[in-house]
Chain A
Amino acid sequence: MGKLSVRDKLSILSDAAKYDASCASSGSAKRDSRKGGLGSTEGMGICHAYAPDGRCISLLKILLTNFCIYDCSYCINRSSSNTKRARFTIAEVVDLTIEFYKRNYIEGLFLSSGVIRSPDDTMGEMVEIARRLRNDHGFKGYIHLKTIPECDPALLEQAGQYADRLSINVELPTDSGVQRLAPEKKPQTIRRAMGTVRGAIEEKSEPTLRTRKKPRFAPAGQSTQMIVGADPAPDAVILKSSARLYSSYHLKRVYYSAFSPIPDSSAALPLMKPPLMREHRLYQADWLMRFYGFDNEEILAGSPDGMLDLAIDPKLAWALRNRHLFPVDMNRADKETLLRVPGLGAKSVMKILQVRRYRTLRLEDIGALVQSIEKIRPFITAVGWSPGGLTEMENLRARLSPEPQQLALF
């Protein structure tokens, strides 16, 4: 193998990172460069570009190396894959990050890696990259480190000093899935690492007796990713798993990554296009749990197969299975109830609550406050509006579903 240029390495090691779903750069501590250094974080993440796959590019998302001693069937970098391998030096990653940042291409670095030699060696190099960015270059931008769960907890401790966010992938929604597709990974080890990070975040956020400045630890919290569609776990199992992860480790996000076919695929996996709509519905269901007061079990309660409906969004599907709770009176219902009306988002609900203190709401008023009144009408009453039998109508689902697409003949 000849010597690779930085550009060659960048093409290999960004290509290898493209299956990772997360790219968020929001919610960290505020920092800026007025007293030296480079960069800022101001709370809101910034997407600097979008790729034709619809995903945002906020961070330089690369692997330190795609050599890996693990053999996870869903991963292009597994040891049995014939993919082209490359490895950045520490200085190369630091330089790329700084030069990209100065031109305003990125918000910072998302660094992941295959595991070479040992988890500690690899994690040690990742921590060193973050340390150099922060200490040698005064870098104030965002740093997300994908943690290797098998590494020494002391390295986690250091990683949290430099990184804004740490993430540890649970990989698959069930332990049996991990055993089957990622046989060298141990689900307990992954959970223990997430527990260590939660513990460190809590410890560092406790008020200190003296007013000394507290050492920072992953101020943007921790997140995780699970691959969807590589194993047979139904959506109900996935949501249950997410609910446990949110409650156990206080995660900022669970990312769902639709299993994507990979070149040189393992025989253990389905060869098909990624189930993108399923991924989308899972994100919607995840929002229902985090922002709309839904319990993971009720989202799919009464669904025959434990799968989210691909044709309609999960809140509408839930409402159609729970018609006895509708219609909701827009002038009287409390916030929790309003949040459960299909088509009403959290922002619309806030506006409705505020406006109705001064005005009694008619259907037209509601129409002015929401994206589309069509979806909402069958589920609400307002002054001068009652859905009559609409809520109970047999074909309500069909009326509210998007037009079916004509299938291609060839």
Chain B
Amino acid sequence: MTEDAGTASEYFTISLKTETDFEGWRKAARALAMSGVPASSVTFLTPSSSSQSLFAGASEPLPNASGDITFDIAKSFVQKAQTATHHSDADRYDFLYHLLCRLLAEPNLMKIASDPDIRRLEAMGKSIRRDAHKMHAFVRFRKTGDMDARDDEAHYVAWFEPDHFIVEREAGFFTRRFAQMNWSILTPKGSIHWDRETLTAGPPARRSDAPSDDATEELWRTYFSNIFNPARLKVKAMQSEMPKKYWKNMPEAALIPDMIAGAENRAKAMVAAMPSTPPPTHAAIRDRHWRSAHMAETDNAPPPPANDLATLRKQAEACRLCPLHEPATQTVFGEGPADARLVFVGEQPGDKEDIAGQPFIGPAGQLFDSTLEEAGIDRSSVYVTNAVKHFKFQPRGKFRLHQKPNGDEVQTCRWWLGQELQLIDPELTVALGATAAQSLLGRSMAVTKERGQILESEGGRQVFITVHPSFLLRIPDERHKADERARFRDDMIAVRELMAA
């Protein structure tokens, strides 16, 4: 596209068939650009701009492309240019040709969001998308004829005034949404009609062509005026999203001035209204529904010792002995037969356990289950529980990072574990990991040193020491991991043999 190209002095005027004739523009622009015609030598006319133009009339013949020039244009340009043809800017086709010429010289131009031409193209697209969005939102159909007519017979008609040439472009939205209704959308820039099968485009319409009312609008206005909270008046926020230019075609908008005018007094009255005496129904409701509920408030002291596991479990649901109850979803209590001979104690529930309310069901629990099976221990015959019954975590976006319970929390929760063990009275208790060992033995200790040992607790219980299965999940090295899993299985086999002895 150099100045000395043979066609440089020629001037082209191209008349497009419709306002949104992207294909017509594309064909012409391609031929012009391939012949090196500069943007300053081309004018595109649309039906509306040609009526005001001195050059109205037939298009010039397009230049013949010289030789075998081909070009690749960024896909994003083609798509954005097509959108831009719907803009009401009379200059848009000339601008798009100018941009096309620049793109041939600067292949990366589409990615330079700070370039003034790219910013203009983006702004055009944004304006069109906004206009389309407002059309989806603010079209108000009115049902014509018999109000009780079924949808296959009834006709719904709307009047809308878009800024841009978007009516046909947005027809798809309405056909997908209202496929089983007959409807028309009339606008000053053209109209569309749908008869439950085909879409027809029609000429521009006038407001008086659309019906002026629909009985349902009274209900809609009732809704609009009541869903508004006068204590939160924010007129500017409303107008930035629903500019006044749309109001005249929205049945509810006529109410707005009065709603604004009355808001302050309504809000003042709300604040000024003194609390009144409750209606008589209130006392009756209290007696019927809440008399017992208010008594059941738990305080921050342990409940009286329970006589069976079911009662203990119920009591633990309301536990507020330490602060962990507030962030956690629920108390995750132990599970298994009340007369189990073997009890396993872990650290605390994790994310999955917290949601389901059951211990040992997450990844570590699954590993624990499969290891028991390999070692020949019947999972359904043992009781599993945790040293701490609420999940302690640190939030990280959509995830919860496990946090080790501190000494106080372990100490506080020992009350529940102690009750569980007293009621079950097992022959052997297995401490899975350091927290469990600390809780059972009342002192901190190194699991790696004492692993495989049987220690005696203060209360005279036999406690077998091993690691927590989640430790195995955290080992990154596969060989090391396999070794440790084998060791854990050996521990479980040892436990089985102890029980058999």
What residues of chain A have their CB less than 8 Å away from a CB belonging to chain B? Answer: 6-7, 10-12, 14-15, 17-19, 32-34, 36-40, 42, 44, 46-57, 60-62, 69, 71, 79-82, 96, 99-100, 102-105, 174-175, 183-184, 187-188, 191-192, 194-195, 198-199, 243-244, 246-248, 250, 258, 260-267, 271-274, 276, 289-290, 295-296, 351, 354-355, 357-359, 361, 365-366, 368-369
Contacts and interface: CB of A to CB of B under 8 A. Distances in A.
Nearest to A188: B330
Contact of A10 (B156, B219, B250, B330): B219
Contacts of A365: 114
B329 A195 contact: yes
Nearest to A60: B223
Interface stretch (B32-40, B81-89, B395-403, B443-451): B395-403
A175 B275 contact: no
Nearest to B391: A248
A247 B398 contact: yes
A79 B285 CA distance: 7
Interface-centre pick from B139, B140, B329, B399 (highest chain A CB count, 10 A): B329
Interface stretch (B17-25, B229-237, B493-501): B229-237
Given A52-B263, A246-B395, A274 B231 contact: yes
A54 B286 contact: no
Given A10-B219, A354-B111, A36 B180 contact: yes
B235 to A, nearest CB: 6
23 contacts: A11-B225, A18-B226, A34-B175, A38-B178, A38-B181, A40-B173, A49-B224, A51-B228, A54-B234, A54-B235, A100-B216, A100-B220, A102-B178, A103-B220, A184-B289, A247-B399, A248-B355, A260-B232, A273-B231, A274-B232, A354-B113, A355-B114, A368-B116
B105 interface: no
Q: Which 6 A-B pairs have the closest CB atoms?
A: A54-B237, A54-B234, A80-B278, A247-B395, A32-B176, A51-B228
A40 B177 contact: yes
Interface stretch (B266-274, B452-460, B473-481): B266-274
A313 B374 CA distance: 58
Interface stretch (B252-260, B378-386, B414-422): B252-260
Contacts of A71: 282, 285-286, 290
A266 B275 contact: yes
Contacts of A105: 140, 220
A142 to B, nearest CB: 12
Interface in B329-350: 329-331
B320 to A, nearest CB: 8
Contacts of B108: 358
A240 B473 CA distance: 29
Interface-centre pick from A57, A175, A248 (highest chain B CB count, 10 A): A248
Nearest to A362: B114
Given A10-B226, A351-B114, 14 more contacts: A7-B219, A15-B227, A39-B177, A52-B260, A53-B233, A96-B219, A99-B216, A100-B216, A103-B216, A188-B330, A195-B330, A195-B355, A195-B357, A365-B114
Interface stretch (B130-138, B362-370, B432-440): B130-138
B271 A261 contact: yes
